[in-house]
Structure 1
Amino acid sequence: MPAVSEPDAPSDAHPVDLRPPIPRLFAFGLQHVLIMYAGCVSVPLIFGAAVGLNASDIGVLISADLLISGAITVVQSIGLWKAVGVRLPVICGGTFTALTPMILIAHEYGMPAVYGSMLLGGVIGIPLAWAFAGLLRYFPPLVTGAVLTVVGLSLIGVAGGLIVGQDTQAADYASPGNIGLAVLVIAIAVTLLCLGRGIWRQLAVLLALMIGTAVALPLGLYNLDAVGDASWFGVPQPFHFGAPQFPLTAVVAMTIVMIVVFAESTASILALSEITGKDIGRGDLARGLTGDAISGIFGAVFNAFIDTVYTNNVGAVATTRVFSRYVTAVSGVILIALGLVPKLGAFVAGLPGPVIGGVGLIMFAVVAIVGINTLRHINLGDPINMTIASATVGVGLLPTFMPGMFAKFPDSTQIVLGSGITLAAITAFTLNLALNHTALGVNARRAMTPDKSDSSRFAAHNMIGEDAHVASKS
């Protein structure tokens, strides 16, 4: 059941538009933040390390990323007039899709070019968002279901990395203690999700995180060293790395990234539409994708990243059945606070990996199951539909199971080839367009269907053969 609305809420209001009481709003909002936080801060951490930034500059990236993520989340949830915001329970955060091209641009042209190209990519993205939304009818359940399945399965490895660690040479890598803590968190979450009632079930993820962290504290797994060094208040300085620059190659690359982000967000938005039962049209999708484009503009100004709709939080909505967009708006406010108060951000960043990973394992798996459930609405008995879904899942999971398989390809192609999610979206969209919206698919299906006259002749031939066989026996 969705959270209870305010007493004065319209009786016919959709669950997406209901507002829970203030205490639940905050608790549900905090739950979303804790689910997405590790992924959100990972983007600036990985980028900063890859381009050789110092700890202070990486701290600037983290604060800016949280601030922009929070602002875009609020806009997407509440809406800004009739121009921006999908008005669904979405959480936005820095996308991994932009990491590889941003790193390449930084090495080739420098940091000012990274944010200059992102700025123009965001500006160009605004009209592209409305054009892209016109393709909504080419994203049927066959496409979104296959892509979501790939998204969920691809992220399982991320959860595993949080549980066992990333450094295989570290002393605590894959330690029984870390794995045991993750198992405990999973057990608590599953117990509450399956046996809990009302508020206990809706806050299952948050309670599992809190209990897991409490257990980790005496074990020395909760690292709070960074909290003491962090400042109490800070506002990211615009263009911290210098005046923006606009190399043509970099601008083209970031524009392509924006289109890829649109494809990712479209799959997540359509999944939320199905999960919540809230129908969306072209205008709703366009306003949601415009939010992605605007994140590129403000992300460039304040040294952050392009945002996308986080799929792990889509899984949280499906799991907890809390559909209110006001909950995610509160999540956005919390993210803004974390961005403006680095000490709070450092406190949350210290949450143990096994705890986040245990919860993430469930959330990511839920996304995959949502994708599989979406495919149930498709006639997979049709060989063409089955082939499209199979090819999408197979191609999309290749980079996950075979990391580095495209390492010898040109750097410019890494924008597409380096992301299994991107490959899945392109594969599903292209095959569905070619085989379900052109004469090619019509002819293919006609060839698969036996001709009635041929069937009649075949049946008659069989009858003659049987009669002759009977006559010979007589």
Structure 2
Amino acid sequence: MNSASQGKLNDFGKNLVLGFQHLLAMYSGDVLVPLLIGNFLHFNAAQMTYLVSIDIFMCGIATLLQLRKTPLTGIGLPVVLGCAVQSVAPLESIGGKLGIAYMYGAIICTGIFVFLIAGLFAKMKKLFPPVVTGSLITIIGFTLVPVGFQNLGGGSAAAKSFGAPANLAIGFLTIVIILAINAFAKGFVKSIAILLGILIASFIAGAFGMVSLTPVAQASWFHLPQIFYFGVPKYNGSAIVTMMLVSLTTMIESTGVYFALSDVTGQKITEDDMKRGYRAEGIAAILGGIFNTFPYSTFSQNVGVLRMSGVKTRKPVYYAAFLLLALGLLPKAGALATVIPTPVLGGAMIVMFGMVGVQGIQILQKADLNKNSNLLVASMSIGLGLGVTVYPQIFQHLATEAQIILGNGVVVGSLAAVILNLIFNWQDFKKPIQSKIKNNPRTADLIMNEN
């Protein structure tokens, strides 16, 4: 084998491993949504197997829609898409009260809604200066840290085994392994520290009887996606409006992830990029309704993977997308990832989400925090976002639609950051326009068209 062929083979192997690392980072968060909704709706084992596997397959499709820029879709950043966790409660409510057919009808309509408003939503890019994006990314990271701790303890805080010494030991061991690899390893090994931490800790956990291969034995070898597997969609006005409100929260969160990825990769994003990104998510939701899965949004977990690995190209994410497609068609292979102990995933999440939060702080440093208005915007938005994350039940007496929006710490913090920035820094929005008009009054009409 000549040196060129050997180099291509090495490149393939490295990108495949990096892609697998991306897959593991998002896998637990993604399969959680079908597991929660399927259990709530009392799906049998066959239905649950289909739901989880085809959801994984659709994650691959949704990711591919985002990776490549086309005239219509794709933000062109190294993004991974997964189930929007914000949709769990409303979909359970719709499915439980009206039936699963209405649940999927609402998802399809929501995808169409996101696709149609993508251009309008993208024009709001000017509402996200560093003080807003930094606050938003900080909120995204730090509001996910408790999720990592919950998994580190065992997954369910109500379980008797939650916080058991074995869970804590393997969870913190995962953290130690990841940190040790980052501290002492170099090159490619360092870039896959999260993957190695998960695999090594899983093998150690298996030696102590914490890994069960039963899900792999019970899963089938192969199946194909089916249109309307659970029935033809039906439509209800209140269900559709509810899911549209949820879609606005996921678009806000995706906006923060877009800017976080832009900062990590050094790739500037334009209004057209964001429009294509939102459209991709809209199409993914439409396909989710057709194939009876879920709405999809950009996963913030994978920002931490990029940050830790230092590999900022799209190639590994392409590999992750094709791995998702393969796992979705091979339930037995896909089940392998489900045997990773929850505390192991929790330990990895804490590292990744902490990195995302600190990245937000780094972006905040680009804003003038000596300016009292910027300090107020950052402190209040982060404080509100973290507060709502800890106590979402504070809004339990409000209407369901209001709870859906206000019960999400990322959304509350994002809205607070945008609104407070408009209130306190209104003059910053006016200055560029006033300056252009002063230099050339005849351009006033053009400037109004731009804005």
- Output the TM-score relative to the length of structure 1: 0.86
In 2: Cα distance, 1:140 partner to 1:24 partner: 36
Question: Which residue in 1 is equivalent to 2:257?
Answer: 268
Q: CA offsets, 1:349-394, max 9 Å, x none?
A: 1111111111111001011001111101111111111111111111
1:47 maps onto 2:40 in alignment: no
- After TM superposition, list the pairs within 5 Å mapping 1:193-272 onto structure 2: 193-272=182-261
Partner of 1:91: 80
Verify: 1:65 aligned to 2:55, yes or no.
yes
Please point out which of 49, 58, 67 is paired with 1:77: 67
Task: Tell me which amino acid in the other structure corresponds to 1:259.
Answer: L
Q: How far has the Cα of 1:416 moved from its partner? A: 0.3
- State the AA in 1 paired with 2:40: A
Aligned match of 1:365:
354
Question: Post-superposition shift, 1:87?
Answer: 1.1
Report the more deviating stretch, 225-234 or 249-258. 249-258
In structure 2, list runs of 5 or more residues that go unmatched. 432-451
Cα deviations by residue, 1:108-128 (Å, 9 ceiling, x for unpaired): 321111111110111121121
Residue 395 of structure 2: SS of its match in structure 1?
coil
- Residue 21 of structure 1 aligns to a residue whose secondary structure is helix
Q: Say if 2:260 is the partner of 1:287.
A: no
Structure with the higher helix share, 1 or 2? 2
Whether the 8 Å CA contact 1:146–1:389 is kept in 2: the answer is yes
Give the Å deviation of 1:433.
2.4
Listed as ranges, the matches of 1:351-390 within 5 Å are: 351-390=340-379
Measure the CA separation in 1 of the matches of 2:427 and 2:40. Answer: 44
Tell me the secondary structure at the aligned position of residue 228 of structure 2: coil
Report if aligned partners of 2:245, 2:401 keep a CA contact under 8 Å in 1: no
8 Å CA contact retained: 1:435, 1:441:
no
Question: Structure 1 residue 109 and structure 2 residue 98: aligned?
Answer: yes
Q: Which residue of 2 aligns with 1:173?
A: 162
1:168 Cα offset (Å): 4.7
Q: Does 1:191 align with 2:191?
A: no
1:437 corresponds to which residue?
426
Q: CA deviation at 1:141?
A: 1.4
Does residue 38 (structure 1) correspond to residue 64 (structure 2)? The answer is no
Residue of 278, 291, 298 corresponding to 2:287: 298
For residues 377 and 297 of structure 1, do their structure 2 counterparts lie closer, same or farther at Cα, with a shift above 3 Å needed? same
Question: Which of structure 1's runs of 4+ aligned residues deviate more than 6 A?
Answer: 439-442
TM-superposed CA distance for 1:148, in Å, is 1.2
Structure 1 unmatched ranges of 5 or more: 1-5, 10-17, 443-474
Assess, with a 3 A threshold, how the Cα gap between structure 1 residues 211 and 119 changes in structure 2: closer, same or farther: same
Match of 1:412 among 375, 397, 401: 401
Please tell me whether the aligned partners of residues 78 and 329 of structure 1 are also in contact (alpha carbons under 8 angstroms).
no
**Structure 2 Cα separation of the partners of residues 281 and 64 of structure 1:** 33
The alpha-carbon deviation at position 194 of structure 1 amounts to 2.3
Write the distance in 2 (CA, Å) between the matches of 1:312 and 1:98: 17
What residue in structure 1 maps to residue 17 of structure 2? 27
Secondary structure of the residue that 2:131 maps to in structure 1?
helix
- Report how far residue 60 of structure 1 moved: 2.1
Structure 1 distance, partners of 2:57, 2:380, is: 39
**Contact conserved, 1:90 with 1:309, CA < 8 A, in 2?**
yes
SS of corresponding position for 2:168: helix
Report the alpha carbon displacement of residue 169 of structure 1 after superposing the two structures with TM: 5.8
Q: CA deviation at 1:273?
A: 0.5
Cα drift, residue 332 of structure 1:
0.5
> How many Å separate the matches in 2 of 1:262 and 1:112?
24
Query: Alignment partner of 1:93: what SS?
Result: strand
User: Which of 316, 332, 337 is 1:327 aligned to?
Assistant: 316
Contact 1:66 1:335 in 2 (8 A): yes
Q: CA deviation at 1:59?
A: 2.1
1:308 is paired with a residue whose SS is strand
Question: C-alpha offsets along residues 183-202 of structure 1, whole Å, 9 cap, x if unaligned?
Answer: 21111111111221101111
Q: Percent identity?
A: 32
Aligned-partner Cα distance in 2 for 1:329–1:168: 35
Measured in 2, the distance between the counterparts of 1:333 and 1:440 equals 43
RMSD: 2.1
Inter-partner Cα distance in structure 1 for 2:311 and 2:81: 17
d(CA) in 1 for partners of 2:255, 2:429: 26
The 1:438/1:64 distance shift into structure 2, 3 A limit, reads: farther
- Partner of 1:450 in structure 2? none
Instruction: Report if the CA contact (8 A) 1:434-1:441 is conserved.
Output: no
Q: Structure 2 CA distance, aligned partners of 1:352 and 1:78?
A: 34
Residue 171 of structure 1 and its aligned partner are, at CA, apart by 4.9
Using the alignment, how far apart are the partners of 1:75 and 1:327 within structure 2?
Answer: 15
Q: Distance in 2 between matches of 1:151 and 1:232?
A: 37
